[in-house]
């Protein structure tokens, strides 16, 4: 695309905004200046280890420790071989962090303590923790990246207009190859908790992502223009999509994820902007969705600006626990009714399979295939889909428009074909 990386990221973020409720506005308790940083050489232990407390960071949750953390990155990224940044137990208040490569060696960020994002929005030019062009990166530990979103969620206006001011994402990985994020918790992001852009071969495992169900645009993990992303044994409960897979993404494997609250596991939205690329080879297996507002969702704009295809998408062994819209393909996606809903679709959805999808639905419509009359969905297969409406005031049903495929072993109410 003929635009900057930042502009590209902004387009993907804007394409995904959904209706949400604002949180309470609170003030940051303190932003006392950090004490003078230590000596990076003195902070370095055996094997190239940089302890942020030896560089001046204070774990009292009030003192600004940004300088110490940034200095630890500069030293570790500049070292050869295996390098480690240690964030010990404690609460460390930090502003925006920019971890830019390429690095001379392989860097591990060991998060044993908690990083707290400043709530002073004037300090942010973009995201909170942004990692750019770093290969073989590992972020691991039992600590927390706390976005402190409740203090600023009331400033989110994206439910009302597309040209809203985007609040900072918590953890942004741009052009990172062969990376790993494991063990950590992402808490109460101001906007998205994790955004993966133009990355290859990323492993996300044993991660916890948590925010209230009514927090605005707090997607758990979003990815766009990336390939080879694997998400394993991760628990996500947020105010928007648990996982969202944007345009240009391929070879994604999602296994053992628990989602809820949230808007489900989504592909899209697709087609909002020009020059979007295809989505293909997406596999979602052995997952549980609990009380989500959507389940397995593919969403595309009816007035799509791009010609693109979503294909080779497979869902298997998925359990629904009172989720609304457990299976939904929505080719007329129009959040908050602030888009044009009368255009001709340019998005193709084909070769989508649902196998062993069971459990309960909080909406009578357990299956909704709302495809375009101009470009119908094709190659949709449903095998042993048995999701029943849990209420008593209606019956389980399927709503199917312009979809072509086959159904075997499904509840008779859900057999669209």
pLDDT at 141 exceeding the cut of 80: yes
The answer to whether residue 15 scores a pLDDT higher than 60 is no
Active site residue 222: no
pLDDT (0 to 100) of residue 161: 78
Give the model's pLDDT for residue 23: 35
Backbone angles phi, psi at 188, to 5 degrees: 50, 55
- Mean pLDDT score of the chain: 89
Q: Find the mean pLDDT for residues 213-230.
A: 98
Per-residue tokens: 159: 């439910």
Q: What is the 3-state secondary structure (H, E, C) of 101-136?
A: CCCCCEEEEEECCEEEECCCHHHCCCCCEEEECCEC
SS3 of 54, please?
helix
Question: Considering only CA atoms, which of 379, 378, 300, 291 is closest in space to residue 346?
Answer: 300
Return the minimum-mean-pLDDT range out of 93-102, 124-133, 210-219, 268-277.
268-277
Which residues are 400's β-sheet partners? Answer: 369
Condensed to tens digits (0 to 9), the pLDDT of residues 344-390 reads: 678 999 999 999 999 999 999 999 999 998 899 999 999 999 999 99
Q: pLDDT confidence of 295, banded at 50, 70, 90?
A: very high
Work out the pLDDT band at 333, boundaries 50, 70, 90. confident
Contact 186, 142 (CB under 8 A): no
* Strand pairing report for 106-111 and 49-51: unpaired
How many other β-carbons are positioned within 10 Å of the β-carbon of residue 194? 25
User: How far does CA 303 lie from the centroid of its chain?
Assistant: 24
Query: Does domain 48-154+166-408 fall into CATH 2.160.20.10?
Result: yes
Of 329 and 39, the structure prediction assigns the larger pLDDT to 329
Q: Residue 160, class by beta-carbon neighbours within 10 Å (0-12 exposed, 13-18 middle, 19+ buried)?
A: exposed
Q: Residue 3: which pLDDT band, with cuts at 50, 70 and 90?
A: very low
CB 181 within 8 A of CB 208: no
pLDDT (mean) for 41-54: 75
Residue 222: which H helix or E strand, with range?
A: strand 221-224
Dihedrals phi, psi of 259, to nearest 5 degrees: -125, 130
The residue-averaged pLDDT of 391-406 equals 95
Tell me what the mean pLDDT of segment 115-121 comes to.
Answer: 98
pLDDT in tens, 188-205: 999 999 999 999 999 999
Nearest to 146 by CA among 184, 198, 197: 184
pLDDT for position 272: 85
Name the nearest CA neighbour of 290 among 262, 253, 325: 262
Overall average pLDDT of the 17-30 stretch: 36
* 332 pLDDT tier (thresholds 50, 70, 90): confident
Helix segments in 46-117, DSSP class H: 66-77
Q: In the predicted model, what is the mean pLDDT of residues 241-253?
A: 98
How do the residues of the chain divide into helix, strand and coil, expressed in percent and rounded to 5? 10, 45, 45
What's the whole-number mean pLDDT along residues 201-222?
98
For the chain, helix (H) and strand (E) counts, in that order, are 3, 33
Q: How far apart are CA 72 and CA 51, in angstroms?
A: 7
Dihedral sign (CA 300, 305, 307, 308): negative
Per-residue pLDDT at 159: 80
- Residue 29 pLDDT level (bands cut at 50, 70, 90): very low
Which strands make up the sheet holding 265-270, listed edge to edge?
Answer: 97-100, 129-132, 171-174, 194-197, 221-224, 243-245, 265-270, 296-301, 327-333, 365-370, 397-401
Active-site option among 21, 193, 222, 263: 263
């Amino acid at each position: 695309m003929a635009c900057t990386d930042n502009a590209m990221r902004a387009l993907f973020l804007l394409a995904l905004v959904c209706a949400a409720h604002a949180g309470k506005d609170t003030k940051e308790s303190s932003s006392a200046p950090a004490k003078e940083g230590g000596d990076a050489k003195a902070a370095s232990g055996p094997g190239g280890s940089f302890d942020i407390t030896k560089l001046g960071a204070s774990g009292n949750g009030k003192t600004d420790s940004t300088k110490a953390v940034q200095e630890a990155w500069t030293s570790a990224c500049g070292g050869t071989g295996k390098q480690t940044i240690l964030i010990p137990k404690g609460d460390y208040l930090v502003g925006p962090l920019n971890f830019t490569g390429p690095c001379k060696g392989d860097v591990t960020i060991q998060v044993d303590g908690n990083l707290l994002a400043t709530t002073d929005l004037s300090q942010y030019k973009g995201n909170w923790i942004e990692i750019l062009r770093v290969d073989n990166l590992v972020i691991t530990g039992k600590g927390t990246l706390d976005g402190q979103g409740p203090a600023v969620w009331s400033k989110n206006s994206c439910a009302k207009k597309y040209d809203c001011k985007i609040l900072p994402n918590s953890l942004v990985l741009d052009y990172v190859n062969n990376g790993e994020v494991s063990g950590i918790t992402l808490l109460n992001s101001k906007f998205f908790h994790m955004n993966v852009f133009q990355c290859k071969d990323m492993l996300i495992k044993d991660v916890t992502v948590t925010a209230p169900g009514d927090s605005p645009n707090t997607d758990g993990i979003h990815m766009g223009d990336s390939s080879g992303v694997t998400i394993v044994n991760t628990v996500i409960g947020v105010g928007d999509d648990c996982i969202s897979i944007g345009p240009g993404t391929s070879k994604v494997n999602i296994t053992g994820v628990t989602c809820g609250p949230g808007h489900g596991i989504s592909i899209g939205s697709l087609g909002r902007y020009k020059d979007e690329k295809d989505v293909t080879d997406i596999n979602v297996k052995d997952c549980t969705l609990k009380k989500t507002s959507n389940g397995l969702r593919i969403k595309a704009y009816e007035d799509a600006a791009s010609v693109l295809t979503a294909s080779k998408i497979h869902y298997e062994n998925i359990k629904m626990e009172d989720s609304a819209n457990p299976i939904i393909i929505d080719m007329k996606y129009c959040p908050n009714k602030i888009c044009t809903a009368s255009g001709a679709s340019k998005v193709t959805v084909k070769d989508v399979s649902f196998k062993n999808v069971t459990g309960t639905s909080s909406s009578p419509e357990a299956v909704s295939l709302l495809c375009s009359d101009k470009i119908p969905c094709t190659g949709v297969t449903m095998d042993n889909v048995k999701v029943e409406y849990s209420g008593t005031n209606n019956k389980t049903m399927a709503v199917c428009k312009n979809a072509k495929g086959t159904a075997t072993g499904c509840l008779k109410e859900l057999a669209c074909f």
